[in-house]
Chain A
Amino acid sequence: MKVLVAVKRVVDYKVQIRVKSDNSGVETQNVKMSVNPPDENAIEEAVKLKEQGLASETIAVSIGDEKSQDVLRTSMAMGIDKSILVKTQNTLEPLAVAKTLMKLIEKENPDLVLMGKQAIDDDSNQTGQILSALLKWPQGCFISNLKIEGNKVSISREIDEGIENLETRLPAVLTCDLRLNTPRFASLPNIMKAKKKPLDIIDIDSLGVDTTPRIKTLKVIEPPKRKAGVMVSDVKELVKKLKYEAKVI
């Protein structure tokens, strides 16, 4: 079984982001960038499948500028075998990302595609679902448990009501929840080893995908700030304020 993992480079989740003063977007220059957190879960799962002898090869793919090589090196330091960067200077919409991934899937023929359930920058939560529909492969979204036996895939999905259990067949597209596993830290020897693993760079234009944006961002603004609150001295005062000032109880 060959596993392909899609990885996005995003502003690190611990960074307090800043809206650009011209309201054109969010500042991403000179900000710490990392692997999109749920994509790390996808990497971890692929590496585990390899360690269990279920996956024969694992490939990480990222779409972005030159700098996205760093998230691919991180993926390989965590144990991914090889990686591909699809180079573009533009920000792609989920539909274009899925179409680009589809082109690579036609070339690489993986049996399983894993990715995070959403990217923590644009919070779209679409790419896996779109890819599954384009490929006509089964879809498993927001998974927190995965078991593969031969061709059979058993998953648990995190839904608003609790957990949904499904059974399906390979090939499939699965999107990972943060609770699927605990991503490992790359050890120093593995970081060194990852530098020698193959990383192919291809230009997005060579894939012949229409990536023209369909959506125009008019402006990006700061969210409204909440008014500063007050500290109360004890429970009596708190309950009194909630009852007679805020009138919510």
Chain B
Amino acid sequence: MAVLVIAEHDNSNLKSSTLNTITAAKKLSDDIHLFILGSNIGELTNKSKDIHFLSKVIKCDNEKLKNFLPELSAPLISNLAENYSHILAPASTFGKNLLPRVSALLDITQISDVIDIVSNDTFVRPIYAGNAISQVQTNQKINLLTIRPTSFEKSEDSGGDASIEEIPFVDTDLKTIFINREVSKSDRPELGNARIVVSGGRGLENSDNFKLLYELADKLNAAVGASRAAVDSGYIGNEYQVGQTGKMVAPELYIAVGISGAIQHLAGMKESKVIVAINKDLEAPIFNVADYGLSSDLFQAIPEIIKELDLLNQIES
């Protein structure tokens, strides 16, 4: 049977989490359909049919779907459900907000935050902030899964040739009005998707000192992240938080600066390939997961790293 992937996008471009989710779907079926719900998504739909592995792109295009209110999207998804063995969405705030509603409408228990697919009915997911890994099995007629994007590679966005199908919008009575989104603009790579992440914690002491971290991030073409302590202290916005209740990241290089390494923070970054910890407290638990630890005052270390990187660049050029 076919597998349905719910697209996360901004009405112009797919989020990379969608491509990770398609790779997960590939483990379940060769017949993968992508469902795009949005407004003015003609161009987005046309681009998406080129994605490798997809056999069909289904679109539902309506002004009311512009802001992805889950009350409107969920019934449109559950209406299609009987044609599918599995329905997948990224385990981002988009998917977490939406898929449980589909679970309610279909009376199916959803499996959240899948990190591995063992077979068509057996899935692996972290529990207790990743301090235990649970393997679960279900024999429900439809499997609802949210997929942790960092656990699956991105599928190629070219090389495919999917057909396009349009389904009509069906309205739902809804009292919610979308006001706005406060999105911080940045030229740096997206946090969930960056090859290198430079993260700051309470050790940075204030928001002004985060500039030092931005400078290092720009030198490395890295995304910036933060611990909950730093976000709660107002040093940086919530969208930068890495951890159990923030974003999950798994970059090739994660540099933790002035972060002590609470269990809840480690949950969000310990899958990173190489971890560097810079902290003056040698007892900080972050050193237990670090490949390279540097016990040093960050206000000295960071400018020195920037200098060393400049030297390297000079040698190379």
* A residues lining the B interface (CB < 8 Å): 11, 13, 16-17, 19, 26, 38, 93-95, 98, 117-118, 120-134, 138-139, 141-142, 144, 154, 157-169, 177-179, 213-223, 226-227, 229-232, 234-236, 238-239, 241-243, 246, 248-249
Q: With A168-B176, A235-B305 as known contacts, state yes or no: A223 contacts B132, CB within 8 Å.
A: yes
The 6 closest A-B pairs by CB, nearest first: A133-B104, A129-B100, A126-B100, A165-B179, A214-B109, A235-B304
Chain A binding site: helix, strand, loop or mixed by DSSP? mixed
A124 CB to nearest chain B CB (Å) = 5
Chain B contacts of A248 at CB under 8 A?
196, 252-253, 273-274
**26 examples of A-B residue contacts, CB within 8 angstroms:** A11-B128, A19-B132, A95-B104, A125-B100, A129-B70, A134-B104, A139-B97, A142-B93, A159-B93, A160-B239, A162-B181, A162-B237, A162-B238, A163-B238, A166-B176, A167-B176, A167-B177, A167-B179, A179-B238, A220-B133, A230-B291, A231-B294, A235-B304, A241-B292, A248-B252, A249-B312
Per-position contact with A for B277-317: 1 when CB-CB < 8 Å, else 0?
A: 00000000001011111111000010011001100100000
Given the complex of chains A and B, what is the CA–CA distance between A185 and B117 in angstroms? 43
- CB distance A169 to B96 under 8 Å? no
A26 touches B103 (CB 8 A): no
B294 x A235 contact (CB < 8 A): yes
One of B104, B292, B304 near A130 (C-beta < 8 A): B104
For the complex, what is the distance from the CA of A214 to the CA of B121, rounded to whole Å? Answer: 12
The interface residues of chain A lying within 8 Å CB-to-CB of B231 are: 179
Bound state CA distance, A129 and B183, in angstroms? 23
B263 interface residue, CB < 8 Å from A? Answer: yes
What secondary structure prevails in chain B residues at the interface with A?
mixed
CB atoms of B309 and A168 under 8 A apart: no
Cα(A134)–Cα(B74), bound, Å: 12
Residue ID in chain B nearest A124 by CB atoms: B112
Closest residue on chain B to residue A131 by CB atoms: B104
Q: A123-B128, A231-B295, A232-B292 are in contact. Are A93 and B109 (CB under 8 A)?
A: yes
Task: Output the least CB separation between A172 and chain B (Å).
Answer: 8
Question: Nearest-CB distance from A79 to chain B (Å)?
Answer: 23
In the complex, which of the residues B98, B237, B263 has the most CB atoms of chain A within 10 Å of its own CB atom? B263
In the complex where A133-B104, A242-B292 touch, is A166 in contact with B70 (Cβ < 8 A)?
no
